[in-house]
Amino acid sequence: MTEVISPATPEQLREAISWALGSKTPLEIIGSGSKISYGHAVAASHVLDLSKLTGVLFYEPEELVMSVRAGTSLAEIHGILRDKNQQFHFEPGNFPGLLADGVADHAGTIGGLIACNISGPRRIKVGAARDHLLGFEAISGRAEDFKSGGRVMKNVTGFDLSKLMAGSFGTLSVMHTITMKVMPCDEKTRTVLIACDDMQIAGSAMTRALGSENEVSAAAWIAREQVVKLGLDIVTGIGTGIVALRVEGPAPSVAWRCEALRKLLADIGASEELHSANSNAFWQAVADVVPFAGGIGLLWRVSGPPASGGAIAAKLADETGGKIMMDWAGAQIWLQLAGGDAMADKVRDIAVSYDARAVLVRAPEDIRNQVPVFHAEDAALARINARIRENFDPEGILNPGRIGHMIAKRGNA
Amino acid sequence: MPEPDQSTLARRKDIIAAMRDIVPNEGGVIVDEDRLRPYECDGLMAYRQLPMIVVLPENTGQVAAILKYCHTHKIRVVPRGAGTGLSGGALPMADAITISMMKFNRVLDIDWDNRAVVVQPGVTNLGITRAVEHKGFYYAPDPSSQIACSIGGNIAENSGGVHSLKYGLTTNNVLGVEMVTIEGEILRIGGKGLDQSGYDLLGVITGSEGLLGIVTEVTVRILRKPETARALLLGFNSSEEGGNCVARIIADGIIPGGLEMMDAPAIKATEGFVHAGYPLDVEALLLVELDGPKVEVDYLIERVGAIARECGAVYSRISESEDERLLFWSGRKNAFPAIGRISPDYICMDGTIPRRRLAEVLTGMQVLSQRHGLRVANVFHAGDGNLHPLIMFDANQPGELERAEAFGADILKLCVEVGGVLSGEHGIGVEKRDLMPEMFTEDDMKHQERLKLAFDEDELLNPGKVFPTLHGCGELKTLHAREVASKFPDIPRF
Ligand SMILES: Cc1cc2nc3c(=O)[nH]c(=O)nc-3n(C[C@H](O)[C@H](O)[C@H](O)COP(=O)(O)OP(=O)(O)OC[C@H]3O[C@@H](n4cnc5c(N)ncnc54)[C@H](O)[C@@H]3O)c2cc1C
Ligand SMILES: Cc1cc2nc3c(=O)[nH]c(=O)nc-3n(C[C@H](O)[C@H](O)[C@H](O)COP(=O)(O)OP(=O)(O)OC[C@H]3O[C@@H](n4cnc5c(N)ncnc54)[C@H](O)[C@@H]3O)c2cc1C
């Protein structure tokens, strides 16, 4: 039986890791468990549960900065931000619907979010979760308390270890304190919807929109059969697949830019607009990958050069028979497969031929144990990654196996 | 700096021969003292050291071969871009090869559809914008050294400029790099997409000050140039009111393209120099630039004007033409040489603080100014709390340089005390290396070192930089106004 350790303070966290280090006990690190099925299964006899390590240390809305304990729930954080009309600008998705059917809405902790570096549709304009992490404090696999970064926006003091922590899936250290940059909500948001069933045409439409001066803050393509799943009447009413382009900012500017985008892409198809709350609901659904939620079917995430998105998507759909949704102006493609076969070689070959990478986001555990979930790096990069891991967690006690093939042992890429 | 290794020096002849084999190109290996001289320092000219030799490779294969040789023979290496760094990051060592990347000067690929440009690291920051501006694009991070500094140096220092508040630093605008490790392995990290696999090495290489590898190719994202830009000048009776106004603008959701502030001594010095029309009876002057579509800019100018009135602005002027906008900026851009006119020498510091502690820190600086008996003027990137205090002194007066340095260190300590950091944009290098313990514990430093060791176990790449030395010289030597002005005459100062 797995034993659960639930530290409530950084000191208790250090004690727990110190004990694990001393006894060489591997730990599975869990925030709220909302993304536990993302990555490989961890071989550990003990769970380090961070859900008691909570609390807001400070939130200064005028300074656009918030510092919290890593186990604080996103639901709580989003609520606090909303009260001040602020947000995480990278609009992280809410993956429980995608990964763990039945887990409460907006489950997930800030630590888990940063560890997975999950970023939503605004990624194309404002960067990823990692770009909004100003600093952190953590206990490494050496049971040493350390920090990096700070609370200010501009900082070149020493190596930027925050970048290293974001997306490391808890394999280098366990963060207990996280300091984030937050942003005010935009005064206005609108989304231009353009009728379009063809993935390639959709891809080039998004490329044109992003190359224009209209500061598009999100660009996605949703197929006709997935549009209904969004549950937004205006969108369903269009009756075709759609290219969606969001503009945000001061009211007069948003109106002007929407108009400009509709003119620019008039040759693609008829257009509509989503305003305010409708626009927000639409992009929350895209961030949460709602069309593919519900835990049915294997799900891949393919990420590559945005302008190749349409071509990659068309080829993936063609050769796997899977269903597609494109986000990040084509730089992020979701592929849902119908059967139980991950078709890993096929998906990865197509990705690599376009200089893209494929990650298996959702699959039953037995498949995840056979198929490398993460995209393998070349041997030289894998060696550096393995050394970083060894230097931060020499005994391999933190989430062993979680990123499996991503951080292969030296040489085995 | 670490003691020169005598066994390396004894092998100098062999090393030169090996380098000539690897880089047979004309002028590719520099060994004569007079031709080594231009490489003896970077923008931090108080520190000088002749390199053992300088090598100028022209392709990645040569860089890999040089580094492999150095790794095998345990020879230290100092990477160098344009040498405009202000923290001594490219300071040579007597027993090290300085590798200048300035022959890597080609733009390799402009991919309009992906809004990505691939360049060699020796291309200047401004060179990227020059290559794409004919189609209305630009590269956003804009250090004021942009006409001279290399994109490779920008990556090493995570450079920023006036645009950083809205468009981010180098780290937010780099998509990928090719980098050679000290073992001579070629890594390709990132690319035209938005993800990489494995740990975020691109993120840690950016800002790593040449300690992890030599960057041989860079992919950056480019942006469409905003249609319009207009600027406001806002004067306040106290820096506190000016600081409040900055906070209010940002809390209102307005992120200006530029948001700069000057205190009274800086305003007086620049107005006397460039006659930009700055008011002389205010304690703080804000320069706010708004960019975007014309409708947006016109609307935001109104909003910012209203916020400024509520915050007690006693002076307000809006640029009505491009010429007038540039005139507003001319004062700010010439603030450093303007100070150079009223003081024989000055030190430019670089720390970042939480914005709301601004008034407190400025007051603290006045106290320190009295204690050290030296004047200080302030120009800074107010939007992101990045301060550039200019400490005025006369190096010809015995003891003044030392007092100025002590004053500078006290200012940085004050920045850290209020929750800020030692460097906002110039990096640590050798300049602030020994102040690192002000911010970091022993364990913090050890974890930084562990990253270093994953790349460079023998610590051959740029040793003596960033990490405090146990017996370092400890004092803080910084640039002298006269010398910098003569070395980079065309660069506006920020
Ligand atoms: C002639 C006409 C045509 C229309 N055409 C369209 C159309 O093409 N597409 C479309 O989507 N709608 C359309 N609508 C509906 C209209 O846009 C909605 O009423 C919308 O809510 C108004 O948004 P706004 O941006 O104009 O106003 P806003 O002032 O932004 O918002 C209106 C109300 O919604 C609230 N609100 C705004 N954002 C949120 C949010 N995120 N969460 C909760 N509440 C919020 C505001 O507080 C306010 O009470 C149309 C309406 C009319 C009268
Ligand atoms: C007048 C003036 C104004 C300035 N204004 C600003 C400003 O506004 N904002 C700002 O951020 N900085 C500013 N700087 C500082 C400086 O210009 C930047 O730090 C710049 O990025 C340095 O680039 P460089 O090519 O000159 O690098 P160098 O000085 O040659 O080197 C800097 C560091 O980068 C490393 N390096 C260089 N090339 C490579 C490579 N290819 N691979 C690996 N490592 C490499 C070196 O080892 C060294 O550690 C200013 C400097 C001056 C003189």
Q: Write the pLDDT tens digit of every residue in B24-35.
A: 999 999 999 999
Asked if A158 lies within 8 A of B385 by C-beta distance, the reply is no
Residues from chain A that touch B466, judged by Cβ atoms under 8 A, are: 158-159
Q: In the predicted model, is pLDDT for residue B489 greater than 90?
A: no
DSSP, res B2:
P
The structure tokens listed for A154 are 């501009």
The protein residue whose alpha carbon is closest to atom 39 in ligand 1 is A277
Contact criterion met (CB below 8 Å) for B169 and B160: yes
Lowest mean pLDDT among A200-209, B70-79, B379-388, B454-463: B379-388
Q: Which of B199, B206, B247 sits opposite A167 (nearest CB)?
A: B199
Q: How confident is the model at residue B470 (pLDDT cuts 50, 70, 90)?
A: low
A152: closest chain B residue by CA: B354
Q: Are strands B116-119 and B107-111 parallel, antiparallel or unpaired?
A: antiparallel
User: Residue B476: what pLDDT?
Assistant: 32
Q: In the predicted model, is pLDDT for residue A411 greater than 60?
A: no
User: Residue A412: what pLDDT?
Assistant: 34
Average of per-residue pLDDT across A110-129: 95
Q: In the predicted model, is pLDDT for residue A101 greater than 70?
A: no
User: Residue B482: what pLDDT?
Assistant: 46
- Quick check: CB of A164 below 6 Å from ligand 1? no
- Angstroms from A237 CA to nearest CA on chain B: 31
State pLDDT tens for residues A352-376: 999 999 999 999 888 988 899 998 8
Average of per-residue pLDDT across B106-120: 98
Asked if B440 lies within 8 A of A150 by C-beta distance, the reply is no
Other C-beta atoms lying within 10 Å of the C-beta of residue B359:
16
Asked if A62 lies within 8 A of B247 by C-beta distance, the reply is yes
Cα-based distances in Å from B484 to A251, B39, B40, B44: 46, 15, 14, 8
Hey, which of B80, B158, B165 would you mutate to test ligand 2's pocket, going by the most ligand atoms within 8 Å of its Cβ?
B80
With CA atoms as reference, report the closest residue to A194 among A235, A143, A146, A249.
A235
Mean pLDDT of chain B: 93
Q: In the predicted model, is pLDDT for residue B251 greater than 90?
A: no
Asked if A158 lies within 8 A of B440 by C-beta distance, the reply is yes
Note the helical H segments in B180-233.
Answer: 201-205
Identical fold between A188-287 and A294-368: yes
Q: How confident is the model at residue A2 (pLDDT cuts 50, 70, 90)?
A: confident
Asked if A252 lies within 8 A of B197 by C-beta distance, the reply is no
Average of per-residue pLDDT across A237-254: 95
Hey, which of A274, A275, A278, A283 would you mutate to test ligand 1's pocket, going by the most ligand atoms within 8 Å of its Cβ?
A275
User: Residue B485: what pLDDT?
Assistant: 46
- Angstroms from A155 CA to nearest CA on chain B: 4
Q: In the predicted model, is pLDDT for residue A378 greater than 60?
A: yes
Residues from chain A that touch B385, judged by Cβ atoms under 8 A, are: 152-154
Q: Are strands A188-195 and A271-275 parallel, antiparallel or unpaired?
A: antiparallel
State pLDDT tens for residues B87-101: 999 999 999 999 999
State pLDDT tens for residues B211-238: 999 999 999 999 999 999 999 999 999 9
User: Residue B52: what pLDDT?
Assistant: 98
Most B-contacting residue of A136, A157, A359, A387 (CB-CB within 10 A), to test interface? A157
The enclosing H or E element of A323 equals: strand A323-327
Alpha-carbon B18 to chain mean position: 34
User: Residue A100: what pLDDT?
Assistant: 63
The protein residue whose alpha carbon is closest to atom 23 in ligand 2 is B153
Residues with CB under 6 Å of ligand 2 are B 42-43, 79-86, 89-90, 101, 121, 143-145, 149-150, 152-154, 156-157, 159-161, 209-210, 214-215, 425-426, 462, 488, 491, 493-494
Asked if B293 lies within 8 A of A185 by C-beta distance, the reply is no
- Angstroms from B205 CA to nearest CA on chain A: 8
Domain A188-287 has CATH 3.30.70.2190: yes
The protein residue whose alpha carbon is closest to atom 9 in ligand 2 is B143
Q: Which of A156, A307, A406 sits opposite B427 (nearest CB)?
A: A156
- Quick check: CB of A277 below 6 Å from ligand 1? yes
Q: Percent of chain B having pLDDT more than 90? A: 86
The whole-angstrom separation of Cα B441 and Cα B468 is 12
The structure tokens listed for B488 are 């980079």
The separation between the first and the last C-alpha atoms of chain A, rounded to the nearest angstrom, is 33
- Angstroms from A258 CA to nearest CA on chain B: 12
Burial of residue A105 (CB within 10 Å: 0-12, 13-18, 19+) is exposed
- Quick check: CB of A273 below 6 Å from ligand 1? yes
The protein residue whose alpha carbon is closest to atom 44 in ligand 2 is B210
Angle, helices B294-310/A251-264, rounded to nearest 10 degrees: 170
User: Residue A297: what pLDDT?
Assistant: 87
- Angstroms from B317 CA to nearest CA on chain A: 22
Contact criterion met (CB below 8 Å) for B432 and B412: yes
- Ligand 1 atom nearest to CA at A272: 8
User: Residue B487: what pLDDT?
Assistant: 61
Residues from chain A that touch B208, judged by Cβ atoms under 8 A, are: 159-160
- Angstroms from B31 CA to nearest CA on chain A: 33
Q: How far is the CA of B463 from the centre of ligand 2 (A)?
A: 17
Q: How confident is the model at residue B197 (pLDDT cuts 50, 70, 90)?
A: confident
Does B163 or B371 have the greater pLDDT score? B371
3-class state of residue B480 by DSSP:
coil
Q: In the predicted model, is pLDDT for residue B473 greater than 70?
A: no
Other C-beta atoms lying within 10 Å of the C-beta of residue A167:
23
The whole-angstrom separation of Cα B285 and Cα B316 is 10
Q: In the predicted model, is pLDDT for residue A206 greater than 50?
A: yes
Q: Where are the domains of chain A?
A: 1-185+376-407, 188-287, 294-368
Instruction: Report which bound ligand comes closest to the CA of B87.
Output: 2
Q: In the predicted model, is pLDDT for residue B477 greater than 50?
A: no
Q: Percent of chain A having pLDDT more than 70? A: 95
Residues from chain B that touch A151, judged by Cβ atoms under 8 A, are: 354, 419
Task: Based on DSSP, count helices (H) and strands (E) in chain A, helices before strands.
Answer: 15, 18
Note the helical H segments in B226-357.
Answer: 239-251, 264-274, 294-310, 322-333, 335-342
Average of per-residue pLDDT across A48-72: 96
Q: In the predicted model, is pLDDT for residue A319 greater than 50?
A: yes
Residues from chain A that touch B189, judged by Cβ atoms under 8 A, are: 381
Q: How far is the CA of B151 from the centre of ligand 2 (A)?
A: 8
Instruction: Report which bound ligand comes closest to the CA of B488.
Output: 2
Contact criterion met (CB below 8 Å) for B451 and A388: yes
Q: How far is the CA of A215 from the centre of ligand 1 (A)?
A: 21
Lowest mean pLDDT among A325-339, B121-135, B332-346: B332-346
User: Residue A225: what pLDDT?
Assistant: 93
Average of per-residue pLDDT across B279-308: 96
Alpha-carbon A35 to chain mean position: 11
Residues near B442 by Cβ (< 8 Å), separated by ≥ 6?
A: none
Instruction: Report which bound ligand comes closest to the CA of A276.
Output: 1
User: Residue B492: what pLDDT?
Assistant: 57
State pLDDT tens for residues B43-80: 988 889 999 999 999 999 999 999 999 999 999 999 99
Asked if A212 lies within 8 A of B355 by C-beta distance, the reply is no
Lowest mean pLDDT among A222-226, A270-274, A365-369, B5-9: A365-369
Q: How far is the CA of B211 from the centre of ligand 2 (A)?
A: 14
A60: closest chain B residue by CA: B356
Average of per-residue pLDDT across B333-352: 90
User: Residue A407: what pLDDT?
Assistant: 43
With CA atoms as reference, report the closest residue to A314 among A391, A401, A201.
A201
Return the CATH number of the domain spanning residue range A294-368: 3.30.70.100
- Quick check: CB of A278 below 6 Å from ligand 1? yes
**CATH of A1-185+376-407 given 1.10.10.10, 3.30.465.10, 1.10.1050.10, 3.40.640.10:** 3.30.465.10
Q: In the predicted model, is pLDDT for residue B475 greater than 60?
A: no
Asked if A164 lies within 8 A of B199 by C-beta distance, the reply is yes
Q: How far is the CA of B322 from the centre of ligand 2 (A)?
A: 30
- Angstroms from A236 CA to nearest CA on chain B: 30
Asked if A146 lies within 8 A of B443 by C-beta distance, the reply is yes
Does A236 or B59 have the greater pLDDT score? B59
Q: How confident is the model at residue B490 (pLDDT cuts 50, 70, 90)?
A: low
Contact criterion met (CB below 8 Å) for A90 and A167: no
Write out the E strands in A150-276. Answer: 173-181, 183-184, 188-195, 218-222, 242-249, 271-275
Mean pLDDT of chain A: 92
Place of tokens 């700069």: B260
Q: In the predicted model, is pLDDT for residue B471 greater than 60?
A: no
With CA atoms as reference, report the closest residue to A406 among A375, A381, A384.
A375
User: Residue B1: what pLDDT?
Assistant: 78
- Ligand 1 atom nearest to CA at A280: 41
Residues from chain A that touch B202, judged by Cβ atoms under 8 A, are: 163
